[in-house]
Amino acid sequence: METRKVTFDSDSKNYVLDILGKTVDMNNYIVEKNDPSQHVFSPNGEPVTLDDFAGVIKGSLVFVKKDLPSIIELADKLK
């Protein structure tokens, strides 16, 4: 199987977030568009910033951070 790297610039990230009903607050945290006081959290319970946003698990609204422990945890869950 071929491995491919997909990267998103911040405009693309904002587009994806908009489709999901999310936006970014003035502190760069991803929040609910209809309730900006409600942050989006990673599976570990940490708020997710736009810079840390790596994607959303297929079929869910579970946000994944781009740090190595988060990616490893996701890979373990998807086995």
Backbone angles phi, psi at 71, to 5 degrees: -65, -40
pTM (predicted TM-score): 0.71
> Where along the chain do its domains lie?
10-77
Tokens of 7: 């990267």
Low-confidence residues of the chain: pLDDT under 70: 1-8, 78
- Distance (Å, rounded) from C-alpha 36 to C-alpha 25? 7
Q: What is the pLDDT of residue 4?
A: 62
